[in-house]
Amino acid sequence: MDTTFSSEDIAFQNEVRDFIANNYPQSLRDSIAEKKRNNEELSREDLTTWHKILGKNKGWSVPGWPEQYGGAGFTPTQKYIFEQECARAECVIVAPFGPQMCAPVIYTFGNEEQKAKHLPGILSGEVFWCQGYSEPGSGSDLASLKTTAVKEGDHYIINGQKTWTTLAQHADWIFCLVRTNPDAAKPQEGISFILIDMKTPGIEVRPIYLMDGINEVNEVWFDNVKVPAENLIGQENMGWTYAKFLLAHERSGIAQVARSKKAIERIKQIAAAEMSYGEPLIQDPAFQRKIAEAELELTSLEYTELRTLAKDSAGKGPGPESSLLKIKGTDMQQKLTELAMEAVGYYANPHMGTSLSNEYVGPDYSTNLSGSYFNFRKASIYGGSNEIQRNIIAKMVLGL
Amino acid sequence: MDTTFSSEDIAFQNEVRDFIANNYPQSLRDSIAEKKRNNEELSREDLTTWHKILGKNKGWSVPGWPEQYGGAGFTPTQKYIFEQECARAECVIVAPFGPQMCAPVIYTFGNEEQKAKHLPGILSGEVFWCQGYSEPGSGSDLASLKTTAVKEGDHYIINGQKTWTTLAQHADWIFCLVRTNPDAAKPQEGISFILIDMKTPGIEVRPIYLMDGINEVNEVWFDNVKVPAENLIGQENMGWTYAKFLLAHERSGIAQVARSKKAIERIKQIAAAEMSYGEPLIQDPAFQRKIAEAELELTSLEYTELRTLAKDSAGKGPGPESSLLKIKGTDMQQKLTELAMEAVGYYANPHMGTSLSNEYVGPDYSTNLSGSYFNFRKASIYGGSNEIQRNIIAKMVLGL
Amino acid sequence: MHFELTEEQTLLENMVTAFVRDDYNWETREKIVKTEEGWKPENWSKFAELGLLSVPFSEDHGGLGGTAVDSMVVMEQFGKGLVVEPFMPSILLSGNLISKLANESQANEIIPKIIEGESRYVFAYAEPQSRFDLSDVKTSATKDGDEYTLNGFKSVVFGASMATHIIIAARTSGDQRSEDGITLFLADIKSNGITLQTYPTIDEYRASEVVIENLKISSDMVLGEVDKAYSVVEEVIDLATIAACSEAVGILQVLKDSTIDYCKQRKQFGQPISKNQAIQHKLVDMMIEYEQAKSILYAAVTADLSNADERKKAVSGAKARIGQSIKFVGESAIQLHGGMGMVDEYMISHYFKRATMLGVLFGNVDFHMKRFVGLTQSNIEPIDGSATIRGGY
Amino acid sequence: MHFELTEEQTLLENMVTAFVRDDYNWETREKIVKTEEGWKPENWSKFAELGLLSVPFSEDHGGLGGTAVDSMVVMEQFGKGLVVEPFMPSILLSGNLISKLANESQANEIIPKIIEGESRYVFAYAEPQSRFDLSDVKTSATKDGDEYTLNGFKSVVFGASMATHIIIAARTSGDQRSEDGITLFLADIKSNGITLQTYPTIDEYRASEVVIENLKISSDMVLGEVDKAYSVVEEVIDLATIAACSEAVGILQVLKDSTIDYCKQRKQFGQPISKNQAIQHKLVDMMIEYEQAKSILYAAVTADLSNADERKKAVSGAKARIGQSIKFVGESAIQLHGGMGMVDEYMISHYFKRATMLGVLFGNVDFHMKRFVGLTQSNIEPIDGSATIRGGY
């Protein structure tokens, strides 16, 4: 039992740390900070600059890919170190839709043409992807999806609507689950996995504003959209298999331990600045207790993740236990946005970034903390709600 | 909106208070205190002395009965006041099996002979009853009971086993649910309600020890027990209807607000006596917070009960909302036994009252506080587990 | 003992309910909150017509002489409609301060105008460093002859941009956190020396930062006794806290009922999601939390509020406990609504946001728990437990 | 980075597992706890044979030189068997104290006898007023020539009735709560001046109150430095706290697994109760709580325990967090077992009771949370937030 890093790992950690220090652009840092204070959405440039820089450095933009596709080929420990260092340095998160979600499906189930066409753009960050899974009314019952793809010659004609599509407003491509066989015995059996160019005529992206006023997700409408049949991944009607494969991928890293550590650090600093009864809030026993509980929960979660990782390194694969990481990871993110909001007392109220908010008010660090709290309620809903995750553990792990 | 008592109510409150002060025997108080310290079961005398005294005073042993059967005929407000005063004075609880559970079934569904035979003994406290509902394996699924009653001439022959029978070791009579029609379409339809003299040959009471070492509940075995057919209440195979009626009765008063208030008072006094870091524990912010949370939950519960009571007084009946009182009332009792145990630190360990415990150790007030904590885990299990109560609310109140 | 409303209270309730139903439906409200001003002055005239603006004032001054129950009745319904007009800050808070402290000439001058809807006061008490501590006042008022000069900064003053006048708590003597030495001043909100920075709040109300620079106020404009404002401020904030609790309880009812309805309608895996036992139990717990919140509100409004200790205990107890309900019911409502709970377009998120912000207003759970502890856990006589300990430690 | 045991640790684990399986089944244990003595001395000889009694001692003294991981490996399995022999108090606590503090002649005299199973020491540290505060020591030791006279009262000394010797923490100087001035004394437990009041504990172990009256101890019998025992006592209690956490994690695993099994078998309303979604989700939460408890235990045993600050943080963090798991997993296990969970006859209640009492041992959740706060929340640099505030407050 040993949680110290090997000398190779430490060398790697230093390499990552140096790379970030030397290559993460200050202008990007400033731009994001400014938008955070304004409660503004990040631009496509904000979202992809760092991705592009990483892409030029030994495939660091795609740490999980096999080396044959240009991936970094990190070991699980290296992946962990890489994520931790990026979080420590507060680097912008590389959007997962291309690199972590679509690409593994392409290089696992796609043909050579598809790999050659799509993987380089995902690696480099030139091509931005979004995910077309959810539909109005489908929610956690993904297999009930209704968007149809009807084959006509060498094309599919797509009709229907996707929703909750994160960052679709910036996307060049979307990977979609569509219904190719409406008469299949089970709803899962008639679904296919297809790649669609967002510039194809008939696609319309409509913004959805979340309760903090931010346009993070969208509706994507398909009206007789003509998609070349060569964009179908693998076999027709086998999409559900690929989707399940992808869902397992999606959950890794969802615990977001390193980012949450950073968040606790910041909450402590805020609580040291805020006053309560003439003393810094961080001396209030009730608030102290909440910070301590969060910190301990996070340490537990960190070691739960490390244990999963160790199992993974030993070739045993993470398995459905990763649902635990999703549940606890999102609980933690939610708890921390709540604590941060609570720390600033009355300054949870101001709503910056609306057309009516002209000047900043309150301490710098208070800006939009309530917005974050409200926004992060999504974390226990998306990617399979935490209720669904409990169902998965009950069935797959406990055999109930 | 007015929560002050009317002058009649205040006069009644004074009457109750005076009656307790003048009539509750000091010897009973001493006997019970001694047994508590020894972690011993109360004797039949401990259990019935106060009942008998109340029985001689205008039917106060049976506050809820109609006056025609000798009951006190209290209004809901008077009942509330009466319970509160008894709790304040820490009077022993009058066992509910005869007065609150069996008797209402007898005077509602029994015939005149049954009323004449049983009600006076229940009122006076001369005859002690127990409840034969649960069976091994039945649990919250009461209707699955297996004890059979087969009619032979003017008798029923009873065979089977009841369990979790509280205080059966002291009981003269038991009221039982038995299966009279094993072929009924639904399990509920073949059940009858019957009264059985515990001295009848073929009955055996075997003690069950709970995890605090106390014999509070028992198994009751029936081996060809011959019971006169006249002991059947109402109609054969209608027992489920009477049982449901009784369950509604059983839940009233289950919130135990007045007793819990007393318990909080005592926890505060203990926390004022116990030291932590050289200061009374009651100055420790973490412990303070827990007391405050308990106190507020109890105030909420008190007003929830009062609101139910007000509805009841207005003739609207308590309804299935009383499941809420069961859930919150037992949560509260459990929380308070936990806090008391926690207050005494290491002195939660000693187990008094075993054959191996010779002398008292630790502060007086610490004796068997952990035993109480462990014992009260039952509260969320018995009388329909709190999970079942939630099912009831979901179905009956929320219509889910 | 009963929890029925009086005939007058029932009339009041019906009136407010009708207003919310007829004049404040969701589309109307959406339009109001999107205007620059963030309220609809016509509604204020309507309140005046309905007599709502007279609630806190004594009958001598043409008021209703309203009790905590009257405030509750109004605010619970306003909560259900998410009414953004500044009734709480201008009437239940500032109005009540004036009602309790104004001298006869001030009262005669001010109160009729408030009741007619012509004047609206707001009360500036919080400062960036004060958090919820009412005695922590740095804004200074120094006297020179018949005039005071005020300097300071007041934070998050709800409704200031809609007000005609302001009441400022300022320090005339004592240390920054001493209860003694706080004085209230009345001023026209457009006075030289007052600058407002107005902004929308996350729950679509309006609040302002108030910068006070060399504001000159005549000593006639002192409200109440010099240096002695603290205890009345505490009392009036306590009563407004009950109003905030009442608004919250109204909102919690909507959150709970809407979620139950939604779960009955929303289908997944071929059945309404309300058929899932885990969801049923969560809905039951929401219902229990709502009932417990309502109960402790009833405990507060029926307490002996004329007794300061009873009042503080009842108010802090209710605010702390209801704060817990807000978190549980609010978060559960969003979770069970799933994606629909997250969007700005659907009304549930707005109720959640308002409830959450009411949890902060006048002090959050921790603040009121601490205050409640101070009132209920001091001077407890320790129980004697020494009898069985040997060795005489 | 890995969480595998070494070959030696695996051997140790297999050995203890085999002992629990072969020599400590439920019936055997039931008999042991019902005896007057409350333990089985033959098991102690077995421990000696297996080499378990040498775990904390250095290899120089014939010990295993065991680490926190070794203690964990043993205690986790002992937890699963609810082993009542005083391994933790006599070996991991007292043995470790002796290992760290004994001078060469004491070590040569004492350690071999402990390893052979001939001597068993217990450590008397707690007093009725001290709660979990190790520096709160009233028991006094006054020196006269070459001899000390001790007077005082020690509470809840586990395993004292099974011990041959006792280590007493007494005050040789300083105030009642000062860290400086505490000295450890070795004594035969049958000495004149020591009286034990022995009793069973609620979880069927044995503990004693120790009354010390004019106990004469030669200054040769001082363990470690006069006045300076505190920091070593704290360290050794910390390491024993990890052992308590390990035992708890072993128990939690049994509570979780038994409850899952029970819910799969127990039928109500015609199906296993494990088919109820509300029960499934509770079982999932029990599993999560168990995993989180195990994880923070791993965090503690792999921390840099040679660094005092790291050690305290890791230990208090683990004990506080595991204390929360104990409550949730324990109470849920009983609840889901229903009536069967309540009875003395069925084993689940015994696991629950032991886990609960381990939650108290060496300090409960509140105690360790407070200690953790002290170590992690002092000297935090406040963030600067003044840039956007106007008015220069």
- pLDDT tens column, B378-387: 999 988 899 9
Q: From residue C176, how far is each of A364, B251, C131, C138 by CA, in Å?
A: 24, 54, 13, 6
Same domain, residue pair B257 and B349 = yes
Q: Is C213 on the interface with D (CB under 8 A)?
A: yes
| From A83, A250, A302, A305, active-site residue | A250
pLDDT band at A313 (very low <50, low <70, confident <90, very high): low
Contact D283 A400 (CB under 8 A): yes
pLDDT at position C391, please?
43
Q: Could you tell me how many CB contacts below 8 A there are between chain A and chain B?
A: 5
pLDDT at position A251, please?
54
Q: Is residue B195 part of a domain?
A: yes
CB contact at 8 A, A212 and A371: yes
Q: Rounded distance, CA A173 to CA A119, Å?
A: 12
- Say whether C146 sits in a helix, a strand or coil: coil
Same domain, residue pair A225 and A262 = no
**pLDDT tens-digit map of A111-154:** 999 999 999 999 999 999 999 999 998 877 888 999 999 999 99
- In the predicted model, what is the mean pLDDT of residues A237-242? 95
pLDDT mean across residues, chain A: 92
pLDDT at position D391, please?
44
Q: Is residue B273 part of a domain?
A: yes
Same domain, residue pair B214 and B133 = yes
* C198 CB burial (10 A radius; 0-12, 13-18, 19+): buried
Q: How far is the alpha carbon of B301 from chain C, nearest alpha carbon, in Å?
A: 6
More confident residue, B250 or A52: A52
Strands C182-188 and C222-223: antiparallel
Q: Is residue A27 part of a domain?
A: yes
Share of chain C above pLDDT 90, in %: 95
Same domain, residue pair A264 and A233 = no
B209 sits in which H/E element:
none
Contact partners for chain D, using 3 or more CB pairs closer than 8 A, are: A, B, C
CATH of residue B304: 1.20.140.10
**Nearest-by-Cβ selection for D278 from B347, B370, B387:** B387
Same domain, residue pair B74 and B156 = no
Residue of D nearest to B211 (CA): D344
Same domain, residue pair B280 and B382 = yes
Q: With 70 as the cut, is the pLDDT of residue B200 above it?
A: yes
CB contact at 8 A, B161 and B179: no
Query: D272 φ, ψ to 5°?
Result: -60, 140
At which of B76, B94, B112 does a domain end? B94
Q: Is B277 on the interface with A (CB under 8 A)?
A: no
At which of A237, A264, A299 does a domain end? A237
pLDDT band at B313 (very low <50, low <70, confident <90, very high): low
Residue in the structure block whose two tokens are 């590389």: A94
The Cα angle at residue A145 between residues A140 and A146, in degrees rounded to 5: 155
Q: Is A399 left (phi over 0), alpha (psi -120 to 50) or beta?
A: left
**Nearest-by-Cβ selection for A350 from C131, C199, C353:** C199
The Cα angle at residue C287 between residues C281 and C292, in degrees rounded to 5: 125
Q: Rounded distance, CA C82 to CA C248, Å?
A: 10
pLDDT mean across residues, chain C: 96
pLDDT mean across residues, chain B: 92
Q: From residue C361, how far is each of C126, C165, C247 by CA, in Å?
A: 11, 21, 11
- Say whether C127 sits in a helix, a strand or coil: coil
pLDDT band at A64 (very low <50, low <70, confident <90, very high): confident
Same domain, residue pair B169 and B231 = yes
Per-residue pLDDT of chain D (393 residues; tens, 9 = 90+): 789 999 999 999 999 999 999 999 999 999 999 999 999 999 999 999 999 999 999 999 999 999 999 999 999 999 999 999 999 999 999 999 999 999 999 999 999 999 999 999 999 999 999 999 999 999 999 999 999 999 999 999 999 999 999 999 999 999 999 999 999 999 999 999 999 999 999 999 999 999 999 999 999 999 999 999 999 999 999 999 999 999 999 999 999 999 999 999 999 888 999 999 999 999 999 999 999 999 999 999 999 999 999 999 999 999 999 999 999 999 999 999 999 999 999 999 999 999 999 999 999 999 999 999 999 999 999 998 765 554 444
Q: Rounded distance, CA D268 to CA D337, Å?
A: 12
Q: Is residue A164 part of a domain?
A: yes
Residues of B marked as catalytic: 250
Residue in the structure block whose two tokens are 């001077």: C379
**Torsion angle, alpha carbons of D208, D213, D218, D221, to 10:** 20
Q: Which of B106-115, B179-188, C379-388, D294-303 has the lowest mean pLDDT?
A: C379-388
Same domain, residue pair B224 and B255 = no
Write out the residue range of the structural domain in which residue A150 sits. 129-237
pLDDT at position D392, please?
44
pLDDT band at A317 (very low <50, low <70, confident <90, very high): low
Same domain, residue pair A298 and A393 = yes
**Nearest-by-Cβ selection for D381 from A2, A269, A327:** A269
Q: Rounded distance, CA A32 to CA A22, Å?
A: 18
Q: Token pair for residue D339?
A: 């009536």
Contact C202 A371 (CB under 8 A): yes
Q: With 80 as the cut, is the pLDDT of residue C390 above it?
A: no
Q: Rounded distance, CA D162 to CA A256, Å?
A: 50
CB atoms within 10 A of CB D361: 23
- In the predicted model, what is the mean pLDDT of residues A188-204? 97
Rank B306-315, B360-369, D41-50 by mean pLDDT and report only the highest.
D41-50
> Number of folded domains in chain A?
3
Q: Is residue B265 part of a domain?
A: yes
* Domains within chain C, CATH numbers bracketed: 7-120 (1.10.540.10), 122-228 (2.40.110.10), 231-389 (1.20.140.10)
Q: Is residue A138 part of a domain?
A: yes
Q: How far is the alpha carbon of D384 from chain B, nearest alpha carbon, in Å?
A: 29
More confident residue, B356 or B205: B205
Residue in the structure block whose two tokens are 């969003």: C334
pLDDT band at C392 (very low <50, low <70, confident <90, very high): very low
Q: Is residue B75 part of a domain?
A: yes
Same domain, residue pair B298 and B223 = no
Q: How far is the alpha carbon of D3 from chain B, nearest alpha carbon, in Å?
A: 34
Q: Is residue A317 part of a domain?
A: yes
CATH of residue A156: 2.40.110.10
The ipTM, to two decimals, is 0.95
Same domain, residue pair B217 and B262 = no
B 286-345: CB under 8 A from C: 288-289, 291-293, 295-297, 299-304, 306-307, 309-310, 313-314, 321, 324, 327-328
CB contact at 8 A, A278 and C176: yes
pTM of the model: 0.96
- In the predicted model, what is the mean pLDDT of residues B198-207? 98
B 32-71: CB under 8 A from D: none
pLDDT at position D61, please?
92
CB contact at 8 A, B330 and B255: no
pLDDT at position A332, please?
97
At which of A210, A237, A264 does a domain end? A237
Q: How far is the alpha carbon of C252 from chain B, nearest alpha carbon, in Å?
A: 16
- In the predicted model, what is the mean pLDDT of residues B82-87? 93
Same domain, residue pair B320 and B226 = no
